[in-house]
Structures are given as C-alpha cells and as structure tokens.
Structure 1
Amino acid sequence: MDALMKPKTKMARLDDLTIRRAIWMVGAFVAIVALMGGGSRYDISSAPLLRAASILFAAVSIALMPSRALTGLRVPLALIAALAVWMGIQLTPLPPSLWASLPLRGPIWEIDQLLGAPEHWRPISMAPSLTMNSLLSLCVPFAAFLVAAALPAAERVRLWWAIWAFGLASVVFGLLQIMGGPRSVFYLYRITNDTSPVGLFANRNHHALLLSISILAAGWLISNEILRRNGRPLVVPALAASIVLFLLFTLVIGSRMGLICGAASTIMAYAVVRWSYRFRAKPINQARTLQRGRHRSSDRFGVARRIALNVLPLVLIVGLGILFYFSGRDNTVGRLFQGDGVEEFRIATLATVTALMKQVWLLGAGFGSFARVYQIVEPDALLREAYFNQAHNDWFQIVIEGGLPAVLIFAGGAIWILLQLVSAARARGVPLRGEMAETVTVAATFAVLISGAAVDYPLRVPSIMMVAAILIVILVRHREEAFNTNRGTKAAFAT
C-alpha cells in the first residue's frame, strides 16, 4: 500500500509545483506587459524589451505546460499565424509594373518616372518598417495565449484576478499622476494625455476601457465568491468597493467612451451579482440547521445582504449625480455634451477614412501605414498642426491596412468566439444556473472590447492585446469545464 501511495504523492506534488509555477508566470507576465505595453506607437523605447520578454515567457511556457494544454486554442493560434503570414506577404517585394497598378501608387510611380529613378521592386506595404513593427508586436498576444494556457481550467479564476489587479494598479498610477501634476514622473510615455490620469497607458480612452473590463472582472469574482461553499467574508466588500473606485475614476479620466462602457459594465456586473445570489452555495448542514430552528442569524445576514444589493446601487447613482452637479466644466459629462474638438475632428475625417477604405480594401496599404497613407488623401480643409496618426476605429483601420485577407482573419476569429460562447452556454444543460454568470461576463467583456475598438484603437495596444488573449483562454477553459461537467452529470444519471 505504501509503495502504491508514494508515486501518487509525488505526482500530486509535481502537479502542485507546476500550477504554482504557472501562477507566478501569469503574474510576472501581466506585470511586465502592464508596465511596458501601454502605448501603441512604434518608437516607444520599451517595445524591444517587451517583445524580448514575451518571447522568453512563450518559450518557458511551452517547456512547462502539459502537452494537451493548447488543444482548445488551436484556432486562435492559427489565426495569429495567418495574420503574421499575411503581414509577411505585405512585406514581399513586387515587380514594378504590378506594384504601380495598386491603389495610391500611381502618383509615386509618376514621380519616379519624372525623376528618371530606376525601377525598384516594392512591397504591398507603403510603410514596410511599420509593417515589420506590427509583425513583431504579435509576440505579446502570442505569449499571452501560451502563458495563460499553462493554467488548468480549474485555476482560470487566477486570470480574472490578474485582469482585476491590472486595473487596480493602473488606478494607483493614475492617482499618483493626479498628485504629481502634468509633469509627474508617473506618466510612463512621452506622448500622452498629460491632463488626464492615464494610469499605465499613454491614452486615456485605453485606460478607461481597461477599467470597464476590470469592473466586469470584479463582478464575476464577486459572483464566484458567492457561489463558493466556503466564502471569504472580506473579499466581496473589497471587490464591490473596487467597482465603485473604477467607475468613479472613469469619470475623473474624462473619456466619453469610458463613461458609456463603464456605466454598461457596472449595470452588467450588478446583474451578474444579483443573479448569482439566487444560486449561492449553502452551508453543508444548513438543511438540518433550518429544521432545528437555528437560522435566525443567517436570516439576519440574508436580510442585510438583500438590503445592500438594493440600496447600494441607489446610493451609487445618487452619489454620481451629486458629483456631476458639483464638478467643473472639464469633467466627462461636460465633454459629453459640449465636446473638446478632438472627437468632432475625428467625425469630420470619417468621410475621408471611408473613401480611403474603399480604395485599398482588397490588399490593404500595409499594417502600421495608416498615418502615411492618410496624408496622401488628406483634404486641405482638415489640415492641422498635429497629424492624424490612427483612424480611431480599429475595424476601419483593419480594412485600410490589412485589406480583405485581414478582414477574413478577424471575421473568422469573431465567429469562432461566438460559437465558443454559444457552445459554453449550451453545455451547461439548463441555461438558468449560477455557472452562466461567467459565460455572460465573458460575452459582456468582448462586447466592451468591440465597442471600444469602434471609436478608438485599443487592439493596437500590447497590454489590451494581452487582456483580449487572456479572455479567449478563459472562454476556452470555461467551455471545456462546462463540457466535462455536463458529461460527468450525464454519466452519473446513466449509472
């Protein structure tokens, strides 16, 4: 008997060690990307270090993870590989006559002819160095997939905690930026919104988007704590307080997109928490205790809990209303109704951007080339001292830079995510159960990302890429667990 027990004990220790290593890997990777991956510009000095670190983390994860850890992630990894291949094709030189036949190349060809310049083979990309930069930037989401995949399905709650901790750390940096002023050393990037607390980002909209996602993460963590049989009494109040903090800080940031996404995330998180209380775990001996009439204390706690669930949202709404009323003209609501000129200018450029999209939709102008290509078609009426560096709509910019192949790749990814969500929901058997809270939260988080990408460019920021990759891993692990649970339930009934 002892001889049989020793191998099991050793294997259990090895499994625990592997899980601990994976947890530390996730924490270290998220911290590094959070500190160095908050900007999308190609000339950020930390970008080479971040990419080197990502490659290192990817290699270590491959060496340590179980052989079947990537089974459910083959499709997203294949899509990243397809995107990398397409970027490589955009960097492949073409014959001069073929290159000149592509949209927007005519004026350059004519200038070459007038100058008598020799004919050169040129790639599809009109900014090859920036396309190469985009290709290298895929290191971060690729590594994020591998690092997160090293955690088993039962430990995916650690990934939610990592997202929540990322949001909390960004708020801390934002508070330090407020205290230090526009020249604070806690602004991590040279080109940034130095009049707003951008946290660990260069752009206030991206910070606000992360906080919206963190609100959803906190909501699901509260739900998970409620559904635990042995709940921890201080965790739920702390997470609830963090939701209020994230929402209030979104107002301080001054992002109109953040206000909308943050409000929607708060409503969804509240709905998830309310839903989870219907399926909360009961103490093991509660039925016997109820029969003996010893449930007065638990009843009092239940009443207090219900009062808190109904009163706290009202208090939060009233508090925010008072904050709106007494705050200055530079707050989010003031910008929402009065504008600051930036969003209005982006709306004015929409016609030019859509016209450009219609010209280059087939093959694209090359990833990273938007600013260079836009200058070719920029109307005189829209000329400004500051250049228009992004389309501020990731979906339009994907068409402009990547063309039809990139659209097909992203459409394939969107369809796959939708199928995974539907599959996870159906695998639960009865839809109206507490476990559905995670499915709903993941769907809401993807909705926030999609909405944010429609008015800005968060998917070009390495740290947001990392969050998106982690969410995909969470979805895959959630679906796997749902199928395993459903299969085990059916087997139990069959026996």
Structure 2
Amino acid sequence: MLQERPSSQIRAPLSLLAIFVVIALLQLVPLPPALWTLLPGRGAVVEGYRLLGIPLPWLPLTLAPNVALSSILWLLPAFATLLGVVVLGAFRSRGIAAVIVAVTLASVAIGALQVIGGTSAYLYQITNHGVAVGFFANANHNATLLLVCIPFLAALQATLLKRSGSQRSASAIRLLVAAAYAVIFVGLLINSSLAGIGLGVPVALGSWLTFTRQRPAARRSLVAQRSLICATVLVSLAALATIMIGPFGNNLFGAQTSNVELSRQTSFALTFRAARAYFPIGSGTGSFQPIYHLQEPLASVTTTFMNHAHSDWIELLLETGIVGMAFAGLFLTWWVARLRVIWHAEEPDPFAQAAVIATAAIMLHSVVDYPLRTAALSAVFATCLGLMSGVRPYTQRSRLPSSARHLSL
C-alpha cells in the first residue's frame, strides 16, 4: 500500500533513480549515421562497415546494445528494493539489520566450509578457489558484505541495549554481539581480500566511534571527542597505507612479476586509455568487454579475460563519459547532504547512520573493485540509500472511530 502523502525525502532518491534510468535508456535510442559517426571512438565501427561493403545503419550510442539492455534489467532487484523502502515503506530498520547480519554470518559459515572442504562447497564453477567467497563467486564481494555487516551489527547492538530491561539481558546481548564480531573477523581473515581487511579497520573504528559516543556513560569533552576522531582517522589511514604499500602482493601498487596482464595496474591503465578515446560521450553501457579487448596487446590475450575494470568508477567513466561523472557528482552531493542531516539530528537514527557507513564502505571498495555490479550488493546499497532518505515505515491507520480509540486508551 502506498503512503498516503509522500514525504519530501522521497523526491530526491526517486529523482536520482529516474535520471539514472533516463541516461541508460537514451543510450539505446537509434541514431542516424550522420550523427553517430561524429561521436568519438566510432571510427573503427565505420571502417568495419566499409570493409564489409554494408551501408551505415542507424545505431544507438552504446556499442553493445544487447548487453546494455541486460545491464538495465539486471538492476531491477536494486530498483525494486529502493522503491519498496522509499515509496511503500515496506521495511523495518531493525529487521533489515538482522537480515544483513544473519546472511553475513551464514556466508562466513559457507566460506569456512569452502576453505576446509575444497571445491565441492563452492557455489559457482568460475570462482576464487582456495579462499572463502561465501554466497558469491568473487572473494572481494564477500568482503564487501562483511564490511556492510559491521555498522549494522553495531546499530543493532545499540538499539537492543537501549531496549534491554535488565543487566542480565544487556550482558547477554553484548556476549552475542561479541561472538558475531569474532565470526566477522575470522571471515575477513579466511576471505583474504586485502581491500576488505584494509577497509575493515576504518569501518570498525567508525562504527565504534559512532555508536559508543551516543551512550551517556561514554560522553566526553569536545577536546576528547576531537582527539578520538583524529586518532581514528590516523589509524584508518595507516591501515590503508599498509595494505597499499606493504609486501602483501596487491596488484595495484606493488611491483608485478606474474599475471601482469590481469593486474589492476594493467586494467586501470588500459581502461583510462579507452576512456580518453571515447570521452566525453563514452562507449555506452555494457560495452566494457569489447572495448577493453581492443586495447589489449595481442601478446597478452589468453583464455582468461578481464570481465570488468575492477573499479566501478573508472568503468563508469569509460561507458558514460562526462554524463556519468556528472550523475555521480549529483549523487555524492545528495549523499553528503543526507550525512549532515543524519548526524546533526537531535535523536540520530542508528540504522540510518549504519547505512551511511555501509554505503561509504561500498563506494570506497568500488574504487578498486566492482561490488555494485553484483545484484546482491547493489540491492543492499539501494536498501541503505532508502534508510538514508529519512522515510519511515508505513503504518496503517486504525479504522476505529476517534471515540472508540479514546475509550480503549
């Protein structure tokens, strides 16, 4: 059932969703040859038709229209999740947090079986064998889910402790939450994602700082609070720097001696080169793979191929050009505005704060991977945006007349 009078908070996320869909659909509109041949990077397409002796047809902006359509349809779960939260109000914040925590713990359990039991426990044929991928095919995506779980578990703990009626129940809650944190920590270790471990430090510290400061017994002076924030930032930066420049074999900053053609150094360099060639319009949604294959040296082409740029932001630049970057800037402006509103509220919503931390973790991980191009994580991201929007769950009004309600009271 739709909310009777949509609040103003709904307009911004729905407008962003509408803009995103319009950008994607416009790339499927056929253009006359006199127009699409003027777009950057289309010279090879024109040459191909000339060599075949075929007249130039009407073509859309994207160079991979079939994949572009499937990419739009693939985002339907995320769209439905966002609409379910902001329009229908079909959610309970505590229920969402509980589901995220439960699914994450189950994913860690499956990951442990994968590490111990071998290939029989993996859910996909093409996957990262030897590490815990859980419900996913890519270990980095399972690491993203673990990162998202941390702030929601902290928010769930803060809410349950606030509702606890005795010291015994509070102690039981702390014990269960501590056990869940231990499982998540083990999950990050057996997952072996460097980005997951590096981002786990700022996510955990940020969650602790956010939900500990709200307790009356933990209130400190302004100077102490600022010192704690500065210390958290410094420790987080040190952890990320250690992962980037440490001897852990990361394939972005370290020296590459093997599988150079599959490293992020190579992927980022070739994708940036292609993005410059197709700027400012871009090569079109879903066109990464054919465009990337044109950039690869023939000597490096093997049976293993690069399915994505391993950076959602760089791939967005390649496929959508300046329009996609403008949309990203618009989205980040809304995200920062909502962050300020959520943190400056008289009574901050813990689950909205958890959503802010979770979306920040996903966007940071997207710099070096592609979590938002998986249906599960994009749906989680959309749910977090719904929680950030400020809408409240829909509650059906009582059908009793006012006099009956007063009598009942």
Structure 1 residue 273: deviation in Å?
Answer: 4.5
Which of 154, 157, 162 lines up with 1:227 in the alignment? Answer: 162
The change in CA–CA distance for 1:356 and 1:207 in structure 2 (over 3 A counts) is: same
Q: What are the equivalent positions in structure 2 for 1:418-437 lying under 5 Å apart?
A: 418-428=336-346, 435=348
Q: Does 1:413 align with 2:331?
A: yes
- Measured after TM superposition, the shift of residue 402 of structure 1 is 1.7
Instruction: Specify the code of the residue in structure 2 equivalent to 1:169.
Output: A
**Secondary structure at 1:209 match in 2:** helix
Does the CA contact (< 8 Å) of 1:208 and 1:253 recur in 2?
yes
User: Gapped runs of 5+ residues in structure 1?
Assistant: 1-63, 281-331, 481-495
Structure 2 CA distance for partners of 1:238 and 1:65, relative to 1, 3 Å:
farther
Which residue, 25, 33, 53 being the options, matches 1:116? Answer: 53
CA distance in 2, matches of 1:127, 1:221: 44
SS state of the match for residue 263, structure 2?
helix
Which gives a bigger RCO, structure 1 or 2 (Cα 8 Å, sep 6+)? 2
- Superposed, 1:372-387 pairs within 5 Å as 372-380=290-298, 382-387=300-305
Following the alignment from structure 2 to structure 1, what is the Cα–Cα distance between the partners of residues 55 and 194?
51
Give RMSD over aligned pairs.
2.9
8 A Cα contact 2:7 2:391, kept in partner: no
Q: Which residue of 1 aligns with 2:370?
A: 457
Higher Cα radius of gyration: 1
Task: Give me the TM-score of the superposition, normalised by structure 1.
Answer: 0.66
| AA of the residue aligned to 2:32 | P
Work out which of the residue numbers 179, 191, 209 in structure 2 matches 1:253: 191
Deviation at 1:87, TM superposition (A): 1.5
In the TM superposition, what whole-angstrom CA distance separates every residue of 1:362-395 from its partner, at most 9, and x where no partner exists? 2221111101111112234643431111111111
Deviation at 1:148, TM superposition (A): 2.9
- 1:192·1:203 contact (CA, 8 Å) conserved in 2? yes
One-letter amino acid of the counterpart of residue 371, structure 2: P
5+ unaligned residues in a row in structure 2: which ranges?
219-245, 394-409
C-alpha separation in 2, matches of 1:393 and 1:135: 19
Corresponding residue for residue 32 of structure 1: none
2:117 & 2:320 partners in 1: Cα distance?
41
Q: Deviations over 1:159-207 (max 9, x none)?
A: 22222222122212223323431133xx232321122221111110010
CA–CA distance in structure 2, aligned partners of residues 338 and 226 of structure 1: 48
Distance verdict in 2 for CA 1:111–1:476, change over 3 Å: closer
How far off its partner does 1:245 sit? 0.9
- Compared CA separation, residues 92 and 443, structure 1 to 2 (3 A): same
Aligned equivalents of 2:391, 2:182: Cα separation in 1:
27
Identical aligned pairs, as a percentage? 28
Equivalents in 1 of 2:57, 2:282: separation in Å? 20
Give yes or no for contact 1:216–1:445 (8 Å, CA) kept in 2: yes
Q: Is the 8 A contact 1:275 1:437 kept in 2?
A: no
Which of 76, 100, 105 is the aligned partner of 1:139? 76
* Pair 342,412 (structure 1): closer, same or farther in 2 beyond 3 Å: farther
In 2: Cα distance, 1:338 partner to 1:253 partner: 23
Alignment partners' CA distance in 1, 2:157 and 2:295: 50
Of 176, 190, 197, the residue aligned with 2:132 is 197
CA distance in 1, matches of 2:150, 2:4: 34
Does the Cα contact within 8 Å between 1:148 and 1:159 map onto a contact in 2? no
Q: Which of 389, 392, 404 does residue 307 from structure 2 map onto?
A: 389
Shift of the alpha carbon at 1:401? 1.0
**1:100 and 1:171 mapped to 2: Cα distance?**
50
Matched residues in 2 for 1:425 and 1:276: separation? 11
| C-alpha contact 1:363 1:405 (8 A) present in aligned 2 | yes
Structure with greater helix share of residues: 1
Matched letter for residue 250 of structure 1: L
3-state DSSP class of the match of 1:365?
Answer: coil
Deviation at residue 439 of structure 1 after TM alignment? 5.6
Q: 1:173 and 1:340 mapped to 2: Cα distance?
A: 33
8 Å CA contact 1:80, 1:138 repeated in 2: no
- Corresponding pairs, count: 359
TM-score of the pair, normalised by structure 2: 0.79
Q: Which of residues 395, 401, 415 is equivalent to 2:319?
A: 401
